[in-house]
Structure 1
Amino acid sequence: MFRVAVSLVSVALLASCASGPPRIPRAVIDRALVGAPGEAQPGKIVAAEIAFSQAARDEGQWTAFRKFMAPGAVIHGVNGPIDAAAWLATQKDPLAAVQWAASSVWMSCDGRLAVSRGRFRDPEGLVGTFVTVWQRQDDGAYRWIYDAGAADDPQPGAQEVDDGAGIIVSADDIIQGYVADCPSPGSPLPLGPFWVMADTARYASEVSPDKTLRWSWEHEADGTRRVALDYLSEGKWERVPVQTFAPRTSE
Protein backbone atom coordinates (compact mmCIF):
# COMPACT_ATOMS: atom_id res chain seq x y z
CA MET A 1 0.00 0.00 0.00
CA PHE A 2 1.42 3.36 -1.03
CA ARG A 3 0.59 6.27 1.26
CA VAL A 4 0.97 9.95 0.54
CA ALA A 5 0.19 13.08 2.50
CA VAL A 6 -0.96 16.25 0.76
CA SER A 7 -0.51 19.50 2.66
CA LEU A 8 -3.72 21.27 3.55
CA VAL A 9 -2.42 24.31 1.74
CA SER A 10 -4.85 22.84 -0.80
CA VAL A 11 -7.68 23.26 1.70
CA ALA A 12 -6.58 26.65 2.97
CA LEU A 13 -7.09 27.88 -0.58
CA LEU A 14 -10.79 27.79 0.24
CA ALA A 15 -10.30 30.78 2.54
CA SER A 16 -13.09 33.31 2.52
CA CYS A 17 -12.70 36.53 0.59
CA ALA A 18 -14.79 39.60 1.41
CA SER A 19 -14.82 40.78 -2.19
CA GLY A 20 -16.44 37.62 -3.52
CA PRO A 21 -15.79 33.91 -4.11
CA PRO A 22 -12.10 33.04 -3.74
CA ARG A 23 -10.02 32.03 -6.73
CA ILE A 24 -7.80 28.99 -6.49
CA PRO A 25 -4.27 29.58 -7.79
CA ARG A 26 -3.26 27.11 -10.49
CA ALA A 27 -0.03 26.49 -8.59
CA VAL A 28 -1.99 25.22 -5.59
CA ILE A 29 -3.88 22.70 -7.70
CA ASP A 30 -0.63 21.67 -9.36
CA ARG A 31 0.89 20.96 -5.93
CA ALA A 32 -2.12 18.79 -5.10
CA LEU A 33 -1.39 16.71 -8.20
CA VAL A 34 2.03 15.64 -6.91
CA GLY A 35 1.84 12.27 -5.15
CA ALA A 36 2.14 8.57 -5.74
CA PRO A 37 3.90 7.05 -8.75
CA GLY A 38 1.98 5.33 -11.52
CA GLU A 39 -1.66 5.64 -12.52
CA ALA A 40 -3.05 6.06 -9.00
CA GLN A 41 -2.62 9.67 -7.91
CA PRO A 42 -4.62 10.68 -4.80
CA GLY A 43 -3.70 14.28 -5.52
CA LYS A 44 -5.89 14.16 -8.62
CA ILE A 45 -8.89 13.42 -6.42
CA VAL A 46 -7.91 16.30 -4.13
CA ALA A 47 -7.70 18.54 -7.19
CA ALA A 48 -11.09 17.29 -8.41
CA GLU A 49 -12.64 18.07 -5.02
CA ILE A 50 -11.08 21.54 -5.09
CA ALA A 51 -12.44 22.24 -8.58
CA PHE A 52 -15.85 20.78 -7.65
CA SER A 53 -16.17 22.95 -4.55
CA GLN A 54 -14.97 26.02 -6.44
CA ALA A 55 -17.53 25.42 -9.20
CA ALA A 56 -20.28 25.15 -6.59
CA ARG A 57 -19.50 28.67 -5.42
CA ASP A 58 -18.84 30.16 -8.85
CA GLU A 59 -21.53 28.47 -10.93
CA GLY A 60 -24.09 27.22 -8.40
CA GLN A 61 -24.20 24.21 -6.11
CA TRP A 62 -26.41 21.88 -8.15
CA THR A 63 -24.92 23.10 -11.43
CA ALA A 64 -21.55 21.92 -10.12
CA PHE A 65 -23.00 18.57 -9.06
CA ARG A 66 -24.30 18.06 -12.59
CA LYS A 67 -21.01 19.21 -14.13
CA PHE A 68 -18.87 16.73 -12.15
CA MET A 69 -21.33 13.80 -12.26
CA ALA A 70 -20.66 10.53 -14.08
CA PRO A 71 -23.44 8.67 -15.92
CA GLY A 72 -25.46 6.53 -13.51
CA ALA A 73 -24.41 8.47 -10.42
CA VAL A 74 -26.48 8.19 -7.25
CA ILE A 75 -27.03 10.44 -4.25
CA HIS A 76 -27.56 8.55 -0.99
CA GLY A 77 -30.19 10.53 0.89
CA VAL A 78 -32.00 9.92 4.14
CA ASN A 79 -34.53 7.66 2.38
CA GLY A 80 -31.99 5.73 0.35
CA PRO A 81 -30.00 6.15 -2.87
CA ILE A 82 -31.68 8.03 -5.71
CA ASP A 83 -30.83 8.61 -9.35
CA ALA A 84 -28.69 11.74 -9.28
CA ALA A 85 -29.39 12.94 -12.82
CA ALA A 86 -33.17 12.78 -12.39
CA TRP A 87 -33.11 14.53 -9.01
CA LEU A 88 -30.61 17.22 -9.98
CA ALA A 89 -32.64 18.06 -13.07
CA THR A 90 -35.37 19.37 -10.77
CA GLN A 91 -33.13 21.43 -8.48
CA LYS A 92 -32.43 25.15 -8.61
CA ASP A 93 -29.14 26.44 -7.31
CA PRO A 94 -29.37 27.93 -3.80
CA LEU A 95 -28.15 31.49 -3.27
CA ALA A 96 -25.17 30.18 -1.28
CA ALA A 97 -23.40 26.89 -1.79
CA VAL A 98 -22.13 24.33 0.70
CA GLN A 99 -18.36 24.58 1.26
CA TRP A 100 -16.31 21.42 1.59
CA ALA A 101 -12.81 19.94 1.53
CA ALA A 102 -11.47 16.39 1.39
CA SER A 103 -9.42 14.96 4.27
CA SER A 104 -8.76 11.35 3.11
CA VAL A 105 -8.56 9.58 -0.25
CA TRP A 106 -8.34 5.86 -1.05
CA MET A 107 -7.55 4.63 -4.58
CA SER A 108 -7.33 1.37 -6.45
CA CYS A 109 -3.92 0.45 -7.84
CA ASP A 110 -4.95 1.28 -11.40
CA GLY A 111 -6.36 4.66 -10.35
CA ARG A 112 -9.75 4.01 -11.92
CA LEU A 113 -11.75 4.09 -8.69
CA ALA A 114 -11.34 6.27 -5.60
CA VAL A 115 -13.20 7.16 -2.42
CA SER A 116 -12.84 10.52 -0.69
CA ARG A 117 -14.02 11.62 2.73
CA GLY A 118 -14.07 15.14 4.09
CA ARG A 119 -15.86 17.89 5.95
CA PHE A 120 -18.44 20.48 4.90
CA ARG A 121 -20.25 23.55 6.18
CA ASP A 122 -23.67 24.52 4.82
CA PRO A 123 -24.96 28.10 4.44
CA GLU A 124 -26.83 27.80 7.75
CA GLY A 125 -23.57 27.06 9.54
CA LEU A 126 -24.12 23.34 10.13
CA VAL A 127 -21.01 21.22 9.69
CA GLY A 128 -20.73 17.56 8.82
CA THR A 129 -18.99 14.78 6.91
CA PHE A 130 -19.31 13.62 3.31
CA VAL A 131 -18.17 10.58 1.33
CA THR A 132 -17.79 10.67 -2.44
CA VAL A 133 -16.83 7.87 -4.83
CA TRP A 134 -14.94 8.91 -7.95
CA GLN A 135 -14.54 7.04 -11.23
CA ARG A 136 -11.96 7.83 -13.90
CA GLN A 137 -13.62 8.36 -17.26
CA ASP A 138 -12.33 7.44 -20.71
CA ASP A 139 -10.95 10.95 -21.15
CA GLY A 140 -8.94 10.64 -17.92
CA ALA A 141 -11.15 13.02 -15.93
CA TYR A 142 -12.60 11.96 -12.59
CA ARG A 143 -16.37 12.17 -12.11
CA TRP A 144 -18.35 11.29 -9.00
CA ILE A 145 -20.63 8.24 -9.05
CA TYR A 146 -21.83 8.25 -5.43
CA ASP A 147 -22.28 10.97 -2.84
CA ALA A 148 -23.54 10.87 0.74
CA GLY A 149 -23.27 13.25 3.65
CA ALA A 150 -24.86 14.39 6.88
CA ALA A 151 -24.48 17.17 9.40
CA ASP A 152 -22.94 16.23 12.74
CA ASP A 153 -25.51 15.40 15.41
CA PRO A 154 -24.74 16.94 17.82
CA GLN A 155 -22.73 19.71 16.21
CA PRO A 156 -19.00 19.79 17.12
CA GLY A 157 -17.62 21.54 20.18
CA ALA A 158 -14.27 22.91 21.20
CA GLN A 159 -12.36 19.76 20.23
CA GLU A 160 -12.61 20.78 16.60
CA VAL A 161 -11.42 24.01 15.10
CA ASP A 162 -12.28 26.35 12.25
CA ASP A 163 -9.51 26.05 9.67
CA GLY A 164 -10.01 29.63 8.48
CA ALA A 165 -11.94 28.49 5.42
CA GLY A 166 -15.27 28.36 7.20
CA ILE A 167 -15.11 24.58 7.42
CA ILE A 168 -14.83 22.75 10.72
CA VAL A 169 -12.03 20.21 10.55
CA SER A 170 -9.98 18.24 13.03
CA ALA A 171 -6.66 19.57 14.22
CA ASP A 172 -4.92 17.27 11.74
CA ASP A 173 -3.83 19.48 8.83
CA ILE A 174 -2.82 16.76 6.39
CA ILE A 175 -4.90 15.09 3.68
CA GLN A 176 -4.11 11.37 3.79
CA GLY A 177 -3.87 9.44 0.54
CA TYR A 178 -3.89 5.63 0.36
CA VAL A 179 -3.19 3.62 -2.79
CA ALA A 180 -3.91 -0.11 -3.01
CA ASP A 181 -1.02 -2.43 -3.79
CA CYS A 182 -0.69 -3.60 -7.35
CA PRO A 183 -0.92 -7.40 -7.58
CA SER A 184 2.15 -9.24 -8.82
CA PRO A 185 1.81 -10.50 -12.40
CA GLY A 186 0.40 -14.00 -12.44
CA SER A 187 -0.23 -14.17 -8.70
CA PRO A 188 -3.78 -14.82 -7.49
CA LEU A 189 -5.50 -12.13 -5.47
CA PRO A 190 -6.57 -13.06 -1.93
CA LEU A 191 -10.23 -13.79 -1.47
CA GLY A 192 -12.22 -10.69 -0.68
CA PRO A 193 -13.54 -10.30 2.86
CA PHE A 194 -17.12 -11.21 3.62
CA TRP A 195 -19.38 -8.31 4.55
CA VAL A 196 -22.21 -8.93 7.01
CA MET A 197 -25.25 -6.81 6.28
CA ALA A 198 -28.44 -6.47 8.31
CA ASP A 199 -31.29 -8.60 6.94
CA THR A 200 -33.45 -5.50 6.56
CA ALA A 201 -30.77 -3.41 4.86
CA ARG A 202 -30.55 -2.36 1.25
CA TYR A 203 -27.00 -2.41 -0.04
CA ALA A 204 -24.78 -2.53 -3.10
CA SER A 205 -21.06 -2.90 -3.69
CA GLU A 206 -18.58 -2.32 -6.49
CA VAL A 207 -15.09 -3.63 -7.19
CA SER A 208 -12.46 -1.69 -9.11
CA PRO A 209 -11.56 -3.16 -12.53
CA ASP A 210 -8.19 -4.34 -11.19
CA LYS A 211 -9.92 -5.87 -8.12
CA THR A 212 -7.70 -4.03 -5.62
CA LEU A 213 -10.43 -1.87 -4.04
CA ARG A 214 -14.03 -2.62 -3.15
CA TRP A 215 -16.59 -0.26 -1.66
CA SER A 216 -20.18 -0.61 -0.54
CA TRP A 217 -23.14 1.39 0.69
CA GLU A 218 -25.75 0.14 3.12
CA HIS A 219 -29.12 1.60 4.12
CA GLU A 220 -30.80 0.07 7.16
CA ALA A 221 -34.50 0.10 7.95
CA ASP A 222 -34.05 2.74 10.66
CA GLY A 223 -32.39 5.12 8.18
CA THR A 224 -28.78 4.46 9.16
CA ARG A 225 -26.45 4.83 6.18
CA ARG A 226 -23.01 3.26 5.96
CA VAL A 227 -20.17 3.43 3.47
CA ALA A 228 -17.22 1.07 3.74
CA LEU A 229 -14.32 -0.11 1.64
CA ASP A 230 -11.51 -2.65 1.48
CA TYR A 231 -8.25 -2.22 -0.41
CA LEU A 232 -5.33 -4.52 -1.08
CA SER A 233 -2.38 -3.84 1.24
CA GLU A 234 0.70 -6.02 1.74
CA GLY A 235 -0.98 -9.09 0.31
CA LYS A 236 -4.18 -8.85 2.30
CA TRP A 237 -7.35 -6.81 2.45
CA GLU A 238 -7.40 -3.72 4.62
CA ARG A 239 -10.86 -2.90 5.99
CA VAL A 240 -11.82 0.79 6.17
CA PRO A 241 -15.14 1.55 7.89
CA VAL A 242 -15.29 4.88 6.12
CA GLN A 243 -18.44 6.43 7.54
CA THR A 244 -21.74 5.84 9.34
CA PHE A 245 -24.50 8.40 9.01
CA ALA A 246 -26.97 7.82 11.83
CA PRO A 247 -30.57 9.09 11.64
CA ARG A 248 -30.86 12.56 13.12
CA THR A 249 -32.17 12.71 16.67
CA SER A 250 -32.23 16.48 17.03
CA GLU A 251 -32.97 19.50 14.91
Structure 2
Amino acid sequence: MKTRTLYLAFVAAVCLATMALIKPAPKDYEREIYAVESAFQKMTVEKGIAEAFWFYADDNAVLKRQNDTLIKGRVAILKYYAEQDLKNASVQWSPDVVSVSQSGDMAYTYGKYVWTIGSGSSKKEIKGVFHTVWKRQNDGSWKYVWD
Protein backbone atom coordinates (compact mmCIF):
# COMPACT_ATOMS: atom_id res chain seq x y z
CA MET A 1 0.00 0.00 0.00
CA LYS A 2 2.85 2.39 0.84
CA THR A 3 4.51 1.66 -2.49
CA ARG A 4 1.33 2.43 -4.38
CA THR A 5 0.78 5.69 -2.44
CA LEU A 6 4.38 6.75 -3.07
CA TYR A 7 4.03 5.88 -6.75
CA LEU A 8 0.83 7.92 -7.09
CA ALA A 9 2.41 10.86 -5.25
CA PHE A 10 5.43 10.66 -7.57
CA VAL A 11 3.22 10.57 -10.70
CA ALA A 12 1.17 13.52 -9.41
CA ALA A 13 4.34 15.51 -8.68
CA VAL A 14 5.73 14.81 -12.17
CA CYS A 15 2.40 15.85 -13.78
CA LEU A 16 2.29 19.08 -11.79
CA ALA A 17 5.91 19.89 -12.60
CA THR A 18 5.30 19.23 -16.30
CA MET A 19 2.20 21.43 -16.32
CA ALA A 20 4.20 24.27 -14.79
CA LEU A 21 6.64 24.10 -17.72
CA ILE A 22 4.00 24.17 -20.44
CA LYS A 23 3.66 27.55 -22.15
CA PRO A 24 0.21 29.09 -22.39
CA ALA A 25 -1.71 28.36 -25.55
CA PRO A 26 -1.56 30.98 -28.33
CA LYS A 27 -5.07 32.18 -27.36
CA ASP A 28 -3.61 33.16 -23.99
CA TYR A 29 -0.88 35.05 -25.84
CA GLU A 30 -3.52 36.83 -27.92
CA ARG A 31 -5.31 37.93 -24.74
CA GLU A 32 -1.99 39.29 -23.45
CA ILE A 33 -1.54 41.37 -26.60
CA TYR A 34 -5.11 42.70 -26.49
CA ALA A 35 -4.47 43.70 -22.86
CA VAL A 36 -1.17 45.41 -23.77
CA GLU A 37 -2.79 47.30 -26.65
CA SER A 38 -5.57 48.43 -24.31
CA ALA A 39 -3.13 49.53 -21.58
CA PHE A 40 -1.00 51.35 -24.18
CA GLN A 41 -4.01 53.26 -25.52
CA LYS A 42 -5.20 54.06 -21.98
CA MET A 43 -1.76 55.42 -21.07
CA THR A 44 -1.95 57.91 -23.95
CA VAL A 45 -4.95 59.43 -22.17
CA GLU A 46 -3.66 59.22 -18.61
CA LYS A 47 0.03 60.09 -19.02
CA GLY A 48 0.24 61.55 -22.50
CA ILE A 49 1.02 60.36 -25.98
CA ALA A 50 4.80 60.92 -25.74
CA GLU A 51 5.20 58.94 -22.52
CA ALA A 52 3.00 56.08 -23.71
CA PHE A 53 4.81 55.67 -27.02
CA TRP A 54 8.15 55.83 -25.18
CA PHE A 55 7.10 53.40 -22.43
CA TYR A 56 5.82 50.69 -24.77
CA ALA A 57 8.75 50.96 -27.20
CA ASP A 58 11.49 48.34 -27.36
CA ASP A 59 14.98 49.89 -27.15
CA ASN A 60 15.34 49.37 -30.92
CA ALA A 61 11.76 50.24 -31.88
CA VAL A 62 10.98 52.03 -35.14
CA LEU A 63 8.03 54.30 -35.84
CA LYS A 64 6.93 54.92 -39.42
CA ARG A 65 5.28 58.30 -39.75
CA GLN A 66 4.32 60.81 -42.45
CA ASN A 67 6.14 60.62 -45.78
CA ASP A 68 7.73 57.30 -44.76
CA THR A 69 9.78 58.99 -42.05
CA LEU A 70 11.37 56.45 -39.69
CA ILE A 71 12.03 57.33 -36.05
CA LYS A 72 14.47 54.80 -34.60
CA GLY A 73 14.94 53.97 -30.90
CA ARG A 74 13.13 54.82 -27.67
CA VAL A 75 15.00 58.08 -27.09
CA ALA A 76 14.25 59.32 -30.61
CA ILE A 77 10.59 58.31 -30.22
CA LEU A 78 10.28 60.29 -26.99
CA LYS A 79 12.00 63.28 -28.61
CA TYR A 80 9.77 63.06 -31.70
CA TYR A 81 6.55 63.16 -29.67
CA ALA A 82 7.91 65.74 -27.21
CA GLU A 83 8.50 68.09 -30.17
CA GLN A 84 4.92 67.73 -31.40
CA ASP A 85 2.13 70.04 -30.23
CA LEU A 86 -0.01 67.42 -28.51
CA LYS A 87 -1.86 69.66 -26.00
CA ASN A 88 -5.14 69.20 -27.87
CA ALA A 89 -4.40 65.83 -29.42
CA SER A 90 -5.62 62.34 -28.68
CA VAL A 91 -5.41 58.99 -30.37
CA GLN A 92 -7.82 56.07 -30.19
CA TRP A 93 -7.27 52.59 -31.61
CA SER A 94 -8.17 49.00 -31.10
CA PRO A 95 -6.77 45.99 -32.92
CA ASP A 96 -9.04 44.16 -35.32
CA VAL A 97 -6.49 41.36 -35.68
CA VAL A 98 -3.97 39.91 -33.25
CA SER A 99 -1.59 37.13 -34.27
CA VAL A 100 1.07 35.64 -32.02
CA SER A 101 3.90 33.29 -32.90
CA GLN A 102 3.57 29.73 -31.63
CA SER A 103 6.58 30.33 -29.37
CA GLY A 104 4.89 33.39 -27.88
CA ASP A 105 7.82 35.76 -28.39
CA MET A 106 6.57 37.85 -31.33
CA ALA A 107 3.17 39.19 -32.33
CA TYR A 108 1.53 41.64 -34.67
CA THR A 109 -1.67 43.63 -34.57
CA TYR A 110 -3.54 45.83 -36.98
CA GLY A 111 -6.73 47.80 -36.95
CA LYS A 112 -8.14 51.31 -37.28
CA TYR A 113 -6.99 54.45 -35.49
CA VAL A 114 -8.30 57.98 -35.14
CA TRP A 115 -6.06 60.93 -34.22
CA THR A 116 -8.01 63.97 -33.03
CA ILE A 117 -6.09 67.23 -33.19
CA GLY A 118 -7.24 70.67 -32.07
CA SER A 119 -10.48 71.71 -30.47
CA GLY A 120 -13.65 73.55 -31.33
CA SER A 121 -13.93 74.67 -34.94
CA SER A 122 -10.28 73.79 -35.63
CA LYS A 123 -10.77 70.18 -34.54
CA LYS A 124 -9.50 67.71 -37.15
CA GLU A 125 -9.67 63.92 -37.30
CA ILE A 126 -7.11 61.79 -39.09
CA LYS A 127 -8.19 58.20 -39.67
CA GLY A 128 -6.13 55.30 -40.84
CA VAL A 129 -4.94 51.76 -40.30
CA PHE A 130 -2.14 50.88 -37.90
CA HIS A 131 0.18 47.89 -37.88
CA THR A 132 2.25 47.09 -34.81
CA VAL A 133 4.85 44.36 -34.30
CA TRP A 134 5.36 43.27 -30.69
CA LYS A 135 8.30 41.47 -29.06
CA ARG A 136 8.24 39.74 -25.67
CA GLN A 137 10.94 41.14 -23.42
CA ASN A 138 13.20 39.15 -21.09
CA ASP A 139 10.98 40.15 -18.14
CA GLY A 140 7.88 38.76 -19.91
CA SER A 141 6.43 42.16 -20.84
CA TRP A 142 5.62 43.15 -24.43
CA LYS A 143 7.15 46.13 -26.23
CA TYR A 144 6.57 47.19 -29.80
CA VAL A 145 9.44 47.03 -32.30
CA TRP A 146 7.50 48.52 -35.23
CA ASP A 147 4.55 50.90 -35.29
TM-score in terms of structure 2 length: 0.69
- Aligned counterparts of 2:142 and 2:77: Cα–Cα separation in 1: 21
C-alpha contact 1:39 1:111 (8 A) present in aligned 2: no
Q: Which residue of 1 aligns with 2:49?
A: 61
Between the aligned residues of both structures, percent identity stands at: 29
Q: Which residue of 2 aligns with 1:71?
A: 59
1:56-97 superposed Cα distances (whole Å, 9 cap, x missing partner): 011101110001111100012223433142142243261232
Shift in alpha-carbon separation, 1:70–1:127, aligned structure 2, 3 A: same
- Structure 2 gap ranges (5+): 1-23, 117-123
Question: 1:38, CA displacement in angstroms?
Answer: 5.8
Q: Which residue of 1 aligns with 2:10?
A: none
Q: Which residue of 2 aligns with 1:122?
A: 115
- Aligned counterparts of 2:93 and 2:145: Cα–Cα separation in 1: 17
- Aligned counterparts of 2:101 and 2:128: Cα–Cα separation in 1: 26
C-alpha contact 1:74 1:145 (8 A) present in aligned 2: yes
- Structure 1 gap ranges (5+): 1-35, 148-251
Establish whether residue 83 from structure 1 lines up as the match of residue 76 from structure 2: no
Runs of 4+ in 1 over 4 A off after TM superposition: none
C-alpha contact 1:39 1:110 (8 A) present in aligned 2: no
C-alpha contact 1:106 1:115 (8 A) present in aligned 2: yes
Establish whether residue 142 from structure 1 lines up as the match of residue 130 from structure 2: no
1:106-161 superposed Cα distances (whole Å, 9 cap, x missing partner): 111011000000111111222211000000001110000100xxxxxxxxxxxxxx
| SS of equivalent to 1:132 | strand
Shift in alpha-carbon separation, 1:66–1:87, aligned structure 2, 3 A: closer
Question: 1:41, CA displacement in angstroms?
Answer: 1.2
Task: Select the structure of larger CA radius of gyration.
Answer: 2
| SS of equivalent to 2:81 | coil
Q: How does 1:95-174 map to 2 (within 5 A)?
A: 95=87, 96-123=89-116, 124-147=124-147
Shift in alpha-carbon separation, 1:39–1:71, aligned structure 2, 3 A: farther
Q: Which residue of 2 aligns with 1:52?
A: 40
Q: 2:25 aligns with which of 34, 37, 46?
A: 37
| SS of equivalent to 1:46 | helix
